Amino acid sequence: MTPSEPAIDLTAFPFMSEKWKAVMKWPSSHLMYPPISFDLPDPDKDSEVCLWVRLPLPQSPYLPPTPVRVEDFHWSIRWGIGNQGLLPLSYERIVEVERASPVSPHLTNWGPLTKVVRPSAEQEMAKIPIATMTLKQRQLLELLAITQPVKEPDGDWNCQNWTTSVLFRAASVEDPIVQANNGPLLTPEQVNNVLFQARNIKHEV
């Protein structure tokens, strides 16, 4: 900390973990606030990994109907990590590609993220179980997602294609990352079953 920077009295934050206190002691010029996964790690236990399909919002009865295509639904891979914080909230781990902003034509892979589970999630999305995985297996899935290329959506390629590629890599015996980590996480049959369900989601417009 430089002489021009006032010290932060960390005794005012008794709930703050030691890791956060260490971060707060960095010079402000180097301060980068960690994601919430910094304090809420993925627990070392088996978890059900699911494909979540975001359903379309109900259309207004006062506007002309807009065509809804299953191919345009947003897909993401998620699993719960429970309630680990001070607040009565549930958290989940997410791997996905999404638009950086509503007006952006590009998709961005932010890497694995930990987020709060929104109470409305069950109503807004359909959940399709993929498999129950250990922490090590989920970390391998995250590694596959991090290294999966992202293309610009063009009307044919979108987040569904990216998610499909990640799942099939997890079932591949030829993928070098999978080979280096004790083999596939899934079978091609499991992946095809999940994709079939996702592409045949029943929804109300």
Q: Rounded distance, CA 205 to CA 101, Å?
A: 25
Q: Rounded distance, CA 187 to CA 49, Å?
A: 14
Q: Rounded distance, CA 1 to CA 12, Å?
A: 19
pLDDT of 67 above 80: no
Q: What is the pTM of this model?
A: 0.77
Q: Which residues contact 18 (CB under 8 A, 6 or more apart)?
A: none
As a whole-number percent, the residues of the chain with pLDDT over 90 amount to 43
Asked if residue 56 lies in contact with residue 65, where contact means CB atoms within 8 angstroms, the answer is: no
Asked if residue 107 lies in contact with residue 150, where contact means CB atoms within 8 angstroms, the answer is: yes
Q: What is the mean pLDDT of residues 134-144?
A: 96
pLDDT of 1 above 70: no
More confident residue, 63 or 87: 63
pLDDT tens digit string along 38-48?
678 899 999 99
Q: What is the mean pLDDT of the chain?
A: 80
Q: Rounded distance, CA 90 to CA 152, Å?
A: 33
